Structure 1
């Protein structure tokens, strides 16, 4: 039996974000879209909700790294958007530790939001759909498909 790793709440030093903002942002979008499309292929995302995401623009900002990724869902795939021509329909902003805590299911998005550690702006109904999709992901199923996540 392995010990449970807890992700601490942290904030990277300010100079990291100032450097990160000056770097190209396209690798972030490509990495996020690759992960989302892998989740699609593994059937981890509830297909019944995907139509609600069609042609919507999403942005994820990692405040303390200066990283940003903008993407959309079109024709059955998540796709990066390198030069968005409008504000996103739904945007998330948080420090790296908050995203890691969500991914590890250590904190839920509601708690982070109400503690002002996760900023969500845009279409409220779309935000609830995305939150419910993330909540529906069965992590034991994911760890079975990705051997590195097994304990």
Structure 2
């Protein structure tokens, strides 16, 4: 898919770029902890411990700063450099999450940018690639009683 297939609405970008980053980071890590944290291998979590991470949606004008510490992701207010910053457009992040686009393809076409610790970047990429997408299904994220199942 071409990078111009989707263009983030400029008026919405103007509004989002004015918001302070920390509250958004709190919401972002809540989602990470709910959907992702329990699926990450212990060796990966040890390597992530204390690392300053940033995800930035360039076209939306938003970024989320976070860190893995004390058994969960936490919102952070990074001052100075991060250990790893990953940026792309909202559309390209959506394509990645849906596995409709390969991260290597986006990286080599300069649509996905990773800055900082290369080894950490490869760890994050390979870990996310290894996760079964069904873990993000609403029925796996929300309480079983909402789907008529008994909690097990």
Shorter chain as denominator, the TM-score bin is 0.7 to 0.9
Paired residue secondary structure (1:64)? helix
- 2-structure distance, mates of 1:97, 1:27: 22
Query: Quick check: 1:9–1:98 contact (8 Å CA) kept in 2?
Result: no
Q: Can you give the 5+ residue segments of structure 1 that lack an aligned partner in the other structure?
A: 1-7
| Alignment match of 2:84 (pick from 79, 87, 90) | 90
Deviations 1:34-63 (A, max 9, x none): 12111355x322222110001110011111
Q: Choose between structure 1 and 2: higher helix proportion.
A: 2
- 2-structure distance, mates of 1:62, 1:142: 20
> 1:85-124, aligned counterparts within 5 Å?
85-124=79-118
Shift of 1:13: 3.8
Partner of 1:17: 13
Partner of 1:130: 124
| Aligned-residue CA RMSD (Å) | 2.1
- 2-structure distance, mates of 1:67, 1:139: 25
Runs of 4+ in 1 over 3 A off after TM superposition: 13-16
TM-score if structure 2 supplies the norm length?
0.81
Aligned residues: 139
- 2-structure distance, mates of 1:87, 1:141: 32
